[in-house]
Amino acid sequence: MKRVYIINVLLLGFFLSGCSKQSSVICFAPVEPYKPQSGAELLEEFNSHLPFKVSPKHFVCKYKTSRLVGWAIVRTSKQKDIIKQMLSESSALTLLQVESLTPELKALFKKEWKQSQSVTRPIM
């Protein structure tokens, strides 16, 4: 009987730990005077402030409203909180939005991550 109880407690623990691992998408952009020239450069700057790395496969970048904008997938709420804190303290990057990772966003990342690395600012 005690063995069944221990197994149930362990299973409940695994289940609850999985619930806190909600993937999120962090949207961020550079702040003047920082002007990255490519998506890869924006991701490099973003990763330079983190104790972990966001891989290029979990990053999409587009040129919007006169600047590059990046979206990064993070797997846990702890990572999300670390990034939000880092962006609030950064003089080079700013937080634009945080949202849950939807199947549509996941498909977009899968489709567009490679092109994002070479996105550049238009030549003026």
Q: Which single residue is written with the structure tokens 């700013």?
A: 94
5 inside domain: no
Neighbours of 119 (CB within 10 A): 20
Residue 7's pLDDT is 58
Give the domain CATH number at 113. Answer: 3.30.70
Q: Smallest Cα–Cα separation from 68: which of 99, 101, 103, 32? A: 32
* pLDDT tens profile 35-94: 999 999 999 999 999 999 999 999 999 888 788 999 999 999 999 999 999 999 999 999
Per the CB < 8 A criterion, the answer to whether 76 and 19 are in contact is no
Residues 123, 36: Cα–Cα separation, whole Å: 13
Residue 21's pLDDT is 54
Residues 84, 71: Cα–Cα separation, whole Å: 13
29 inside domain: yes
Please report the DSSP string for 36-70 in residue order: -SBHHHHHHHHHHT-SS---GGGEEEEEETTEEEE
50 inside domain: yes
pLDDT-above-90 percentage for the chain: 56
Number of domains in the chain: 1
Say whether the peptide bond before residue 33 is cis (omega within 30 degrees of 0): yes
Q: Determine the structural domain holding residue 98 and report its residue range.
A: 21-117
Structure tokens at 97: 């939005």
Residue 103's pLDDT is 87
